[in-house]
Chains A and B, each alone.
Chain A
Amino acid sequence: MATPGATTPSHEVRVTVACTEDVVQARQQGRNLAVSLGFSPSEATLMAAAISELARNIVRYADHGEISMHVSPDGMLFVVARDQGPGISDMQSALRSGYSTSGGLGLGLPGVRRIADHFEIVSNSSGTTVTLGKRRR
């Protein structure tokens, strides 16, 4: 039987990311999830932007992968971006503002890390997993 007020495990969303339309799809689902969890419109937009960065990196560097979102028992919204791409060879530079191997601004990952309450990145030659955790303010 469900406990009243408990976080339901049904708050889990998975989006396959393989093209630019999927990037839009992933961030819209992330925004909807954040709103349903009581995040303010500003925070939900921020999450959507962060998810957009993570999803784009998958399409650009790994061709395809997956974004999954879930809520921890203590109410943190987790976004996990997973791919089986070539991995990030220079992690330090990738996390530094202004660096990008594809001529971009390079603010993707540093920006995501900056706004995160929890940030984790694991990358090797068999793929990359970025985990972003964000609490409601």
Chain B
Amino acid sequence: MAWPSVPILKEGDVLIASIQSALTDLDLVGLRDALVTQVSTYRTRGVIVDVTALDVVDSFASRTLRDLAHMIRLRGARTVIVGIQPDVAFAMVQLGLTLEDIPTALDLEEGLAYLGAR
């Protein structure tokens, strides 16, 4: 099965998943599984998930992002979530949703800097 909804690019030793539009729950789970697999395929050290275009982060999305990051950590790589929009951040806080200990950064550039990638 392919995951056409979220393109994953390899940039040096970092994988970058750029969410392009609203995602269904199945898309999110597909993205999680694809990234966890590709971390070993490409022997990457870091993963950036760019959620700039994500319309909503609800309890399922925040849990799936957390799971994704934890699974990738168990594979020996680090994950940064970038691009959470102000309105989405507002809604997450109001609903009591959290990414717990998952690192976040303002945008792709800051995410790459956080991972020490070039």
* Given A42-B86, A42-B90, A56-B25, A114-B95 contact (CB < 8 Å): yes
Is there a chain B Cβ closer than 8 Å to A76's Cβ? no
Q: Is B109 interfacial (CB-CB < 8 Å)?
A: no
Check B106 for interface membership: any CB of A closer than 8 A: no
Q: Which listed residue (A31, A112, A115) contacts B55, Cβ 8 A?
A: A31
* Inter-chain contact B58/A21, CB cutoff 8 Å: no
Interface of B is mostly: helix
Contact A20 B95 (CB under 8 A): no
B44-102 interface with A by 8 A CB criterion? 55-60, 62-63, 86-88, 90-92, 94-97
Contact string against B for A residues 37-81, beta-carbon threshold 8 Å, 1 for contact and 0 otherwise: 000011011101110110010000000000000000000000000
Task: Please report the C-alpha to C-alpha distance between residue A111 and residue B24 in the assembled complex, in whole angstroms.
Answer: 20
A21 to B26, CA, bound (A): 9
Q: A49-B57, A56-B60 are in contact. Are A97 and B25 (CB under 8 A)?
A: no
Question: How many angstroms from the CA of A53 to the CA of B62 in the assembled complex?
Answer: 12
Does the CB pair B97–A45 fall under 8 Å? no
Task: Tell yes or no: A110 within 8 A of B by CB.
Answer: yes
Could you say which residues of chain B place their CB within 8 Å of the CB of A111?
59, 94-97
Contact B59 A50 (CB under 8 A): no
Interface range on chain B (Cβ under 8 Å from partner): 20 to 34
Q: Could you tell me the distance between the alpha carbons of A10 and B87 in the complex, rounded to whole angstroms? A: 27
A45 touches B88 (CB 8 A): yes
- Distance in Å: Cβ of A27 to nearest Cβ of chain B: 6
**Of the residues A31, A44, A104, contact of B59 by C-beta under 8 Å:** A104
Q: Could you list which residues of chain A lie within 8 angstroms of chain B, going by C-beta atoms?
A: 20-21, 23-24, 27-28, 31, 41-42, 44-46, 48-50, 52-53, 56, 97, 104-108, 110-112, 114-115
> Can you list 21 A-B pairs with a CB-CB distance of less than 8 A?
A20-B24, A20-B25, A20-B26, A23-B24, A24-B22, A27-B55, A27-B56, A28-B55, A45-B87, A46-B90, A46-B91, A48-B55, A48-B56, A52-B58, A56-B25, A104-B60, A105-B63, A107-B95, A110-B96, A111-B97, A115-B94
